[in-house]
């Protein structure tokens, strides 16, 4: 979401319920028309499922670390799953599937404006997931804990901050 769009949405928020009820929000209508007139590419749902899977596996690792005796086999499996899923990402963002194009997605148009930066961010995440796989195989829970921070911040969050709809 661009700053301008965001500012407009902020300004509109107190009236949003009313506007939606009256069907008088031209911006909303435009977006609805856009989605209705275009076929929704399958990649949007695929990448969302894929991210859900990454999140679930990441939670498996973090949940194991909360206990006294982390199940290293489960952590290893989850780390491998994250790595596999991250490698699918480059194919799941076809041009023009941004939230700005009217799709039900949190993918910002900046992904395609800075495709190189986006691909680099994915590769950083892939690299972090490989480090996670390595420490998981080593069987050291403390090292896995450190990699949770690395993967979460340098892998997931770094990319979300730049290429996904603002979340706070």
Partner 1 sequence: MAHDTHAVSIWDLPVRLTHWALAVLVPAMWFTADSSLWWWHTRIGHVLLGLLIFRVIWGFVGTDTARFSNFVRGPARVIAYLRGNYDVKAHIGHSPLGALSVIAMLGVIAAQVGMGLFAGDPYDGATGPLNALVGVGTADWITDTHEWFVYVVAGMIGLHLAAIAIYVGVKKQSLVGPMVAGKGEAEEGVEGNSRASFARFAICAGAAIGVAAWVWFGAWPLG
Draw the binding track, 135-154, toward partner 1 (x: CB under 8 A; -: no contact). -----------------xx-
For partner 1, the closer CB: 116 or 142: 142
59 forms part of the interface with partner 1 (CB under 8 A):
yes
166 forms part of the interface with partner 1 (CB under 8 A):
yes
Question: Among 100, 125, 124, 126, which Cα is nearest to 111's?
Answer: 100
Q: In sequence order, which residues have a C-beta less than 8 Å from that of residue 159 and are 6 or more positions away?
A: 118, 121, 122, 124, 125
Question: Among 95, 92, 59, 90, which Cα is nearest to 75's?
Answer: 59
66 forms part of the interface with partner 1 (CB under 8 A):
yes
68 forms part of the interface with partner 1 (CB under 8 A):
no
163 forms part of the interface with partner 1 (CB under 8 A):
no
End-to-end alpha carbon distance in the chain = 13
Contact segment (CB under 8 A) with partner 1 among 12-20, 73-81, 88-96, 110-118 equals 12-20
User: 83 near 130, Cβ under 8 Å?
Assistant: yes
The residues that bridge with 164 in the sheet, in sequence order, are: 107
Which parts of 76-105 interact with partner 1 (CB under 8 A)? 99
162 forms part of the interface with partner 1 (CB under 8 A):
no
């Amino acid at each position: 979401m661009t700053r301008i769009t965001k500012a407009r949405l902020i300004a509109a928020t107190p009236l949003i319920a009313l506007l939606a009820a009256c069907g008088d929000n031209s911006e909303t209508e435009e977006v609805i028309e856009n989605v209705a007139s275009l076929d929704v590419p399958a990649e949007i749902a695929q990448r969302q499922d894929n991210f859900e899977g990454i999140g679930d596996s990441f939670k498996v690792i973090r949940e194991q670390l909360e206990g006294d005796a982390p199940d290293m086999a489960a952590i290893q499996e989850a780390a491998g799953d994250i790595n596999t899923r991250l490698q699918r990402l480059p194919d799941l963002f076809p041009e023009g599937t941004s939230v700005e194009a009217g799709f039900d997605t949190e993918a910002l148009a900046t992904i395609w404006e800075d495709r190189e930066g986006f691909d680099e961010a994915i590769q950083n995440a892939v690299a972090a997931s490989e480090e996670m796989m390595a420490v998981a195989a080593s069987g050291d829970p403390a090292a896995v804990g450190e990699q949770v921070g690395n993967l979460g911040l340098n892998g997931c969050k770094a990319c979300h901050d730049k290429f996904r709809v603002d979340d706070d």
